[in-house]
Amino acid sequence: MALDVISKPFDEVKGADGGRVKFIDRGIITLFKREKRMKVGIVGLPQVGKTTIFSLLTQGRADASSWGNAREAHIGIAGVPDPRLDRLAEIVKPEKTTYATVEYVDLPGLARGEGKAALEGQSKDMSSYLNNLKNVDALLHVVRGFDDPSLPHIEGSVDPLRDIGLFELELIFSDLAIIEKRLERLLKDLKKMKMPELELENELLLRFKAALESEQPLREIALTPEEAKRVRGFTFLSAKPILIVINAGDEDAAKIDNVVAAFGLEKQAGMPNVGITAVCGKIESEIASLAPDEAAEFMADYNLPGNALARIINKSYDLLGVFSFYTAGEPEARAWTIPRGTPAAQAAGVIHSDIEKGFIKAEVVSYDDMISLGSFAAAKNKGVLRLEGKEYRVREGDVILFRFNV
């Protein structure tokens, strides 16, 4: 039941394919219910700037207790920069302003052959790697775009297109390893007894296997919602939506918006469930640690158009089809992240399950009206406050007051 409700808005977003949905292995439950924030795993080859970008994103908000161990995953939280919430807070003047957050997991590098080693049953680290990625909504693939003679590239040269393909293959091999193991088991079980669910699973996994063997990642495959449900328990890495982040050299700062095109990567950006952007990891992580006015000065010096955190988070929101709505009262103004198409009652459930259960009405004012009129009362007087029911599809920027009884 819960799963159906949660996956519905996404199916609508991604379901243009004749009722089928793209199979996306996402920890959508994590995002939507349990932790209320998007979870993203930072992956890539060794020595490409994963940890640099992780610290840029989670500035001062990471758990550094296991820092010494490069083979361990680190977890950190990023606040989502939100100019709309800033404006709302200026007007409403709440005691507290709470930004949406994203959780990042910084993982060890996965080198050429490590996904394949999993396939051949030789990798001990792979299961802990997969465990760390089990509940992430998306992968953030850091690709090296900077050249540094003192730090040779593991593949000998800077070539983002090659690295993207190479890493994709490791994801594919890792998925194949999981599928082959499961198929063996299924074959045995199906010999003992014929069960329709097992047969369906078998059929599906054979289809996945064929796709992977022709180097097609699972995130490109369309499934019915029932099929998607059947395989939800697996952590298939190539099924996760992926944001490719090119870690460019300092000299690219002023033209950071052109880096993707300069490396010939527009085609990648057009693939299903793939996003792509670029940052200057090294200088932008230094800038992220500065006080705001100093940071602005440095950004101007480097001619950087906007900050890396916003660039990455905006792309992640687009990739996952989520946006923010707001609550704004005296005690707190706050941003809440929900999937596009979420009905009002479920949006209320993100705030508290009691509000969803006892939902009566949503009082909704659009962001622009709230900014120009300043309060729910003024919006009501003007006749622009709307009373919406359970099924109302919340829109980006809506400012909402939920009426409920418990």
Ligand X SMILES: Nc1nc2c(ncn2[C@@H]2O[C@H](COP(=O)(O)OP(=O)(O)O)[C@@H](O)[C@H]2O)c(=O)[nH]1
Please, are residues 192 and 185 in contact by the beta-carbon 8 Å criterion?
Answer: no
Least distance in angstroms from the C-beta of 245 to Mg ion: 14
Least distance in angstroms from the C-beta of 121 to ligand X: 26
C-alpha 45/C-alpha 74 separation (Å) is 16
Least distance in angstroms from the C-beta of 50 to Mg ion: 5
C-alpha 262/C-alpha 404 separation (Å) is 53
Check binding of 51 to Mg ion (CB under 5 A): yes
Per-residue HEC secondary structure of 318-359 comes to HHHCEEEEEEECCCEEEEEEEECCCEHHHHHHHHCHHHHHCE
Residues 135-174 that bind ligand X (CB under 6 A): 146, 148, 151
Check binding of 282 to Mg ion (CB under 5 A): no
Check binding of 362 to ligand X (CB under 6 A): no
Say if strands 74-79 and 101-106 run parallel, antiparallel, or are unpaired: antiparallel
Please, are residues 399 and 366 in contact by the beta-carbon 8 Å criterion?
Answer: yes
Least distance in angstroms from the C-beta of 279 to ligand X: 8
- Can you name the residues that pair with 277 across neighbouring β-strands? 245
Residues 218-247 that bind ligand X (CB under 6 A): 247
- Chain centroid offset of residue 107 CA: 15
Check binding of 16 to ligand X (CB under 6 A): no
The size of the chain, in residues, is: 406
Check binding of 304 to ligand X (CB under 6 A): no
Check binding of 39 to Mg ion (CB under 5 A): no
Check binding of 50 to Mg ion (CB under 5 A): yes
Least distance in angstroms from the C-beta of 282 to ligand X: 3
86 closest CA partner among 98, 102, 95: 98
Residue number, 103 or 201, with CB nearest to ligand X:
103
| Per-position DSSP letters for 70-131, written without gaps between them | TTS-EEEEEE---HHHHHHHHHH--SEEE--EEEEEE-----TTHHHHHHTT--STHHHHHH
Number of residues that bind ligand X (CB under 6 A): 17
Least distance in angstroms from the C-beta of 51 to Mg ion: 3
241 binds, among ligand X, Mg ion, none (CB under 5 to 8 A by kind): none
Residues 50-89 that bind ligand X (CB under 6 A): 50-52
C-alpha 280/C-alpha 251 separation (Å) is 9
Residues 261-300 that bind ligand X (CB under 6 A): 280-282
* Residues at the contact surface with ligand X, assessed by CB under 6 A: 44, 46-52, 109, 146, 148, 151, 247, 249, 280-282
* Residues at the contact surface with Mg ion, assessed by CB under 5 A: 50-51
